[in-house]
Structure 1
């Protein structure tokens, strides 16, 4: 059953029941007070008739025609017949109501309702201090409710109640149609909203006159936002994966070309270097399952202990061919032994991205310098180049995903420094940058020597 039909039936039933109850209560109260009123009027009228009849019998001056005319004026519902007798029992006048007969003739229903049991005759003795003067017989309906006026009143009350029911139902039907139309419209729009979300379209939240529909739309809008964020997160993750595989693949390619050309010896050191790059690619591929099973795979930590200088030398060894082919020097300016306990893979990602950026934006003949120093429980690592530098307008956006400076169109996907910032945050550290156009750029990494998040998983 549609909402429109259901709402229409409910409102019509409510209107019918409400008006019906109201009509019964109002009819009962009105009928009671009206009957009391008729009885009071009847009692007052009887006194007037008796006073008039006693006066006629005592004075004996009124003519028969005048007596009849006067008595007829007292034939007021529920009285429909009056007979006056003198003290000797002689009938002086007998009058009856033509209205009584006409009422029965005009309305067959009233006539069928009438029976001899509906009539009663009251006898009143006309007397005073001077003795008994006569008697008067008044024939009336047995109860005020049986009078013609009372019956017409009840019929009028019933017909007006029926009219009220019809009017109330018509108004209720109109209101129900209006409300159901508005609700149906809002529900259809909500269904379209859900369909748009399913299709991946961007939706706009609009309130409804019905709070429940507004709540549903709000939930759908929140769901749409979460889905878009999840989709965006997965896209970022995919872009990161693609970006991160480029570096080890490039290293493998350049070293294999060097071996092929006889520039690089295929010794054990070179084999270990290539195996290390393969392990990096393997670690990246393992993250693919997270795109299906979780939203925060990039937040998972694998903590291990390693020596910083050794890690940096391995990374520089892998990039040396790439840098030398472009005519760039890469210098490790520190030799201190620092044992770190953190996520080696994520820290390596940071180094690779920063060094690749330096290689990309430094011209031949330039150099890149890496240095570090320990300060208490933190290690500060500087990576500086004398490349083209970064414009001030771009400097505040370089860590945003997919952002590329106005002079860097086509030079990258804008995801590398976003990964650097994200990884440093996960490692409990921070990264800052200073740069001047034409004078190069320096990144400063600051992170704890020992990763101190109790939730970290040790490997």
Structure 2
């Protein structure tokens, strides 16, 4: 404590006042009075030093707590039930400690997610890259006939398109996760949205001779982002097309009430098993009925887009009968 210059100044100042009081008392009163004044002054100086020493010890403890916290120990609880500046300081240190602990936990969670994502991405890219490397080696053979050469070239193009879609989807998902995408809050007319969604999938449905049935309120609207919501619906509808057999039926219905606007997409395809239902919106998850070309990211992206706009998406399915996706966009989020 005596290493602090302000404490030395305080002792000197109190000593000067005590001596001054002793001198004044000895001049204008008796020596007994002067001795009493000196004794009281020394007692007050001692009490002041004792209290100051106690406060400095408490501050030293808090410094030790901070050193432990800086070393990564967030288990300390320095709170007490007393009043005063030191107690307030302890409570503030505890609050900062809890925030640092939560921040550290989130960082570890994000690190684990990043590691898993990198592992999943490398796994998804490894298969098409290996396939293309093999086909490129075969294409270098001058004895390869033109039919096989054209087939390998077409396969390479398909694999490159698949990789491009995967990278683009992962980039969109990472932007959504990072919160860097500002979803628009505009009035979306559902019939216009459905027409936008159906357009890119007309040809695949015609190839599989599937029938599309659309019905709903022509004036149904909701507040959201038109383009991103279309992206989500395209992924859901694409999933239905892929899992519905030739000559199957796909139904799109939409309605609006005082609480929410609902869009439902239903098919009569393979359906989803009960074991797979809880996981179909997880990234890179492939159910039992998933096709070989499935990556397992389309529904995950749809889920992220819908929920990021305070919407809700539910799925119900029965194997062999079909699946139903229900999207709800609420009028007001409470």
Alignment of 1:63-212 (within 5 A): 154-196=30-72, 203=75, 206-207=78-79, 209-212=86-89
**What is the CA-CA distance between 1:333 and the residue it aligns to?**
5.0
Aligned with 1:334: secondary structure?
strand
**What is the CA-CA distance between 1:426 and the residue it aligns to?**
2.9
Q: Which residue, 381, 388, 395 being the options, matches 2:273?
A: 388
**What is the CA-CA distance between 1:182 and the residue it aligns to?**
1.7
Q: In structure 2, how many angstroms separate the alpha carbons of the residues matched to 1:192 and 1:379?
A: 54
**What is the CA-CA distance between 1:447 and the residue it aligns to?**
6.2
Query: Considering only CA atoms, is the larger Rg found in Structure 1 or Structure 2?
Result: 1
TM-score normalized by the length of structure 1: 0.42
Counterpart residue number, 1:334: 212
Aligned residues: 283
Aligned with 2:71: secondary structure?
helix
Aligned with 1:342: secondary structure?
helix
Counterpart residue number, 2:162: 277
**What is the CA-CA distance between 1:342 and the residue it aligns to?**
1.8
Residues 346, 296 of structure 1: CA spacing in aligned structure 2 closer, same or farther, 3 A cutoff? Answer: same
Deviations along 1:137-186, one digit per CA (max 9) or x if unpaired, are xxxxxxxx7xxxx6xxx222222222223222223222222221121011
**What is the CA-CA distance between 1:432 and the residue it aligns to?**
0.9
- In the alignment, structure 2 segments of 5+ residues that lack a partner are 81-85, 139-146, 187-192, 217-224, 286-295, 330-334
Q: In structure 2, how many angstroms separate the alpha carbons of the residues matched to 1:272 and 1:238?
A: 29
TM-score normalized by the length of structure 2: 0.54
Q: Which residue, 421, 426, 448 being the options, matches 2:308?
A: 426
Q: In structure 2, how many angstroms separate the alpha carbons of the residues matched to 1:380 and 1:9?
A: 79
Residues 202, 242 of structure 1: CA spacing in aligned structure 2 closer, same or farther, 3 A cutoff? Answer: farther
**What is the CA-CA distance between 1:202 and the residue it aligns to?**
5.2
- In the alignment, structure 1 segments of 5+ residues that lack a partner are 32-144, 321-329, 360-364, 405-413, 449-459
1:446 maps to 2:327:
yes
Deviations along 1:176-230, one digit per CA (max 9) or x if unpaired, are 222211210111111221231xxxx655554264423532442353244345435
Q: In structure 1, how many angstroms separate the alpha carbons of the residues matched to 2:71 and 2:47?
A: 36
More displaced stretch, 157-166 vs 203-212: 203-212
Counterpart residue number, 1:38: none
Contact 1:233–1:295 (8 Å) recurs in 2: no
User: Per residue, is there more strand in 1 or in 2?
Assistant: 1
